Amino acid sequence: MPRLSQADLIQLNRTFDDRTPQELLLWANSIFGDRVAALTSMQESGNVICHMLHATPVHMPLVFVDTGVLFQETLDTRDRLMAAYGLNITTLQPKLSMEEQTSQYGVLYLSPEGQKQCCEMRKSEPLDAIKGQYDALIGSLRRADGGRRESCPILAVDTRLNVLRINPLANFTNEQMEEYIEKNNVILNPLHKQGFSTIGCNRCTTPVLPGEPKRAGRWRHLGPWSVYCGINPTDLDPERSPAVDFSQDLIDRILGRSTDFMI
Residues annotated as catalytic are: 229
Q: Does 124 bind ligand SF4 (CB under 6 A)?
A: no
Of residues 51 and 203, the one with the C-beta less far from ligand SF4: 203
- The count of residues interacting with ligand SF4 (CB under 6 A) is 13
Q: Does 109 bind ligand SF4 (CB under 6 A)?
A: yes
User: Interacting stretch for ligand SF4, rule CB under 6 A, among 85-93, 151-159, 190-198, 199-207?
Assistant: 199-207
Of residues 115 and 198, the one with the C-beta less far from ligand SF4: 115
List of E strands, 95-161:
136-138, 155-158
Of residues 123 and 149, the one with the C-beta less far from ligand SF4: 123
Q: Does 29 bind ligand SF4 (CB under 6 A)?
A: no
The Cα 256–Cα 253 span in angstroms is 5
Q: Does 229 bind ligand SF4 (CB under 6 A)?
A: yes
User: Interacting stretch for ligand SF4, rule CB under 6 A, among 12-20, 42-50, 119-127, 142-150?
Assistant: 119-127
Of residues 170 and 204, the one with the C-beta less far from ligand SF4: 204
Query: 93: Cβ–Cβ under 8 A, 6 or more apart, which residues?
Result: 65, 66, 67, 68, 126
The Cα 195–Cα 159 span in angstroms is 35
Q: Does 67 bind ligand SF4 (CB under 6 A)?
A: yes
The answer to whether 67 and 92 have CB atoms below 8 angstroms apart is no
Closest CA to 125 of 246, 245, 230, 236: 230
The Cα 261–Cα 75 span in angstroms is 50
The answer to whether 49 and 40 have CB atoms below 8 angstroms apart is yes
Among 123, 149, 165, 215, binds ligand SF4 (CB under 6 A): 123
Residue 90's φ and ψ, nearest 5 degrees, are -90, 130
* Binding interface with ligand SF4 (CB under 6 A): 67, 69, 109, 115, 118-119, 122-123, 200-201, 203-204, 229
